[in-house]
Amino acid sequence: MATILHIAFVEQWEAAREAGCYRWSTRGTSLDDGATFIHASRPEQVAVVANFVYADVTEPLCLLVIDTERLVSALCEEPVGDQMFPHIYGPLNLDAVVDVRRYEQGADGRWPAVTAQAVS
């Protein structure tokens, strides 16, 4: 099973479970606002993204662990800076989310690194 991760606010994930699909692209932007894809990361990219996009957030976030083989929407690898990131073009179907992990800042106020083993 190939997996990717999406950083989410707990409340948005809970609302998605009630709605039947997840539509948040990234912090403050959803597919309903005109975003064309949902941002995702591989484990080694999560901390970089979290510390850039969510640096001022103090509440716990969650990591949606996504089985790429279960995705209904298209998945594309695209360059962002000097790295390739997975992007989901369309809503995230809930059955593709195989786990949800709590993600909290460390004592130093930074979002910690995530290993592949931690989400497998």
Query: For the chain, which domains are there?
Result: 3-110 (3.20.170.20)
> In this structure, are strands 29-30 and 24-26 parallel, antiparallel, or unpaired?
antiparallel
pLDDT tens readout for residues 42-61? 999 999 999 999 999 988 89
* Mean pLDDT value of segment 99-107: 95
pLDDT of residue 1: 66
From CA 48, how far away is CA 46, in angstroms rounded? Answer: 6
pTM of the model: 0.94
Other Cβ atoms closer than 10 A to 16: 19
pLDDT of residue 119: 76
pLDDT of residue 116: 81
* Mean pLDDT value of segment 9-34: 96
In 3D, which of 113, 104, 97 has the Cα closest to residue 38?
Answer: 97
Give yes or no for residue 20 having a pLDDT over 80: yes
